[in-house]
Amino acid sequence: MEASLDGSNVPVSVYENLIEAVHKKLPTMYRYVRLRKKLLGVDQLYFYDIYTPLVQDLNKSIPYEQAKQTVYDALHPLGEDYRKILQEGFDNRWIDVYENRGKRTGAYSAGTKVHPFVLLNYSGTLGSQFTLAHEMGHALHSYLSNRTQNPIDSDYVIFVAEVASTCNEALLMQHLLKTTKDKKRRAYLINYFLEQFRTTLYRQTMFAEFELEINRRNERGESLTAESLNALYHELNHQYFGDDIVIDKEIDLEWARIPHFYYDYYVYQYATGYSAAIALSRRILKEGAPAVKDYIHFLSGGCSTDPISLLRGAGVDMASTAPIHEALQLFDELITEMEQLMEE
């Protein structure tokens, strides 16, 4: 574990702090699960039920040109210099937009030296619009690092990679919530935001704890049988999601299809990156220009120093549990608003 994290200059305490901080906020996840069960009107809530939207029929098609304009408007807090680069990407074919024969699925950004290239499979959904914001966050991170740092220091490590992309998503969500007056639409957006917390912050932390425990068992010389791994995964799902969801034998097997468990301590970075991004987006919206200046400096940093120092310079100390607590506090606030909206 120390060797794996040392490759990115991340202290082991960051991994341990993540698990500790999320453990303290597990009751908030139990509250969300209870809310889901209540709003879906089911006697028993299964894991496949959590993929059902709480608000139906609002995911209307969003034309690509409209999505670009919305993302551009949402990133206004990052300043005109940032948006000028964003517009350059929109106008100069940085993005391969639509599905095509032989094209790979999903989305990614390749931070090449000339300029970044972004692959999308845009389908007009709300998720597609968020993916556009996400991938352009990666693209501008690469653009700024490549133009600020020497070639040796221009590539950033995975620990910070998801921060820039998720910060864009958080700013887009806050923009949509600010400009949406329809209560049903607002509830739909909050549902989408809550699911990001569940899947990225809670679920990836659970994955990180599973990976940590199986490696500890291996170090102790214990056999990692399918039965023992099923039992451990069952126990963690119950710990993270509580008594109001059915932990069935099919979910016990889910660990076997998660490819990241065959890497070396990778998944925790999704949760830490998400926490840092939420904290940064809130600072940018609250403090304005000083926070933006620090954030752009972070985006321009490449790997010129260790990732903890880079993020600390942007105003987020990932050596502490504070950013994780701040993100989970927002999760709690969103659940409260969702409860109020659904009562109305």
Three-class SS state of 118: strand
Question: Are the beta carbons of 11 and 309 closer than 8 angstroms?
Answer: no
Q: Cα(70)–Cα(89) distance, rounded to whole angstroms?
A: 15
Q: Cα(191)–Cα(227) distance, rounded to whole angstroms?
A: 35
Q: Cα(249)–Cα(259) distance, rounded to whole angstroms?
A: 20
Residues 6+ positions from 86 with CB-CB distance below 8 Å: 71, 72, 75, 136, 140
Torsion, Cα of 268, 95, 310, 144 (10° steps)? 170
Write the DSSP string, 58-110.
------HHHHHHHHHHHTGGG-HHHHHHHHHHHHTT-EE-S--TT--SS-EEE
Residue 324 burial (CB < 10 Å; 0-12/13-18/19+)?
buried
Options 2, 135, 219, 326, the catalytic residue: 135
The strand pairing partners of 117, in sequence order, are 110
Neighbours of 46 (CB within 10 A): 13
- Chain CA centroid to CA 260, Å: 16
Residues 6+ positions from 212 with CB-CB distance below 8 Å: 1, 15, 19, 265
Phi, psi for 95 (deg, rounded to 5):
-115, 125
Decide if 135 is catalytic: yes
Tokens of 168: 């864009």
Residue 336 burial (CB < 10 Å; 0-12/13-18/19+)?
exposed
* Catalytically active residues, by annotation: 135
